[in-house]
């Protein structure tokens, strides 16, 4: 019974990975925010630690962890946000170059019935 619950949980995480990666590709999820989310889901998605698709997002999250991205923005002053905006735009461009192919791969891997593939 626990195995079924675990498999169901892993599938729900992989569905979340699919939705986030798809949203990053279609622009409905900001790319840096999505990358941070995907990096955080790596272990729960039950993939190898060396999974290249997820490692791309771990790298993006690591390289941008000092920027005001996502929920952390509400803790920054307007002046600081304005100061960091050019860095965020540059980081977003770089992240898209690094992360678009891995996003496409994750969408393909975790689409529909690809439960443990």
Q: Domain-by-domain residue ranges, the chain?
A: 2-109
Q: Which of 32, 4, 5, 37 is nearest to 19 (CA)?
A: 37
Tell me if 69 sits within 8 A of 36, measured CB to CB: yes
Rounded CA-CA distance 10/114 in Å is: 12
Tell me if 101 sits within 8 A of 25, measured CB to CB: no
Q: Could you say which residues of the chain have pLDDT below 50?
A: 114-117
**Whole-number pLDDT of residue 53:** 97
**Whole-number pLDDT of residue 117:** 44
pLDDT in tens, 64-78: 999 999 888 999 999
**Whole-number pLDDT of residue 46:** 93
């Amino acid at each position: 019974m626990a195995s079924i619950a675990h498999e169901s949980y892993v599938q729900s995480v992989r569905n979340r990975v699919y939705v986030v990666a798809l949203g990053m590709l279609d622009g409905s999820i900001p790319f840096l925010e999505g990358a941070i989310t995907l990096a955080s889901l790596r272990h729960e998605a039950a993939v190898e630690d060396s999974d290249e698709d997820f490692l791309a997002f771990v790298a993006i999250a690591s390289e941008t962890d000092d920027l005001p991205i996502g929920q952390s923005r509400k803790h920054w002053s307007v002046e600081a946000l304005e100061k960091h905006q050019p860095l965020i735009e540059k980081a977003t461009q770089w992240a898209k170059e690094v992360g678009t192919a891995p996003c496409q791969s994750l969408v393909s891997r975790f689409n529909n019935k690809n439960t443990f593939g």
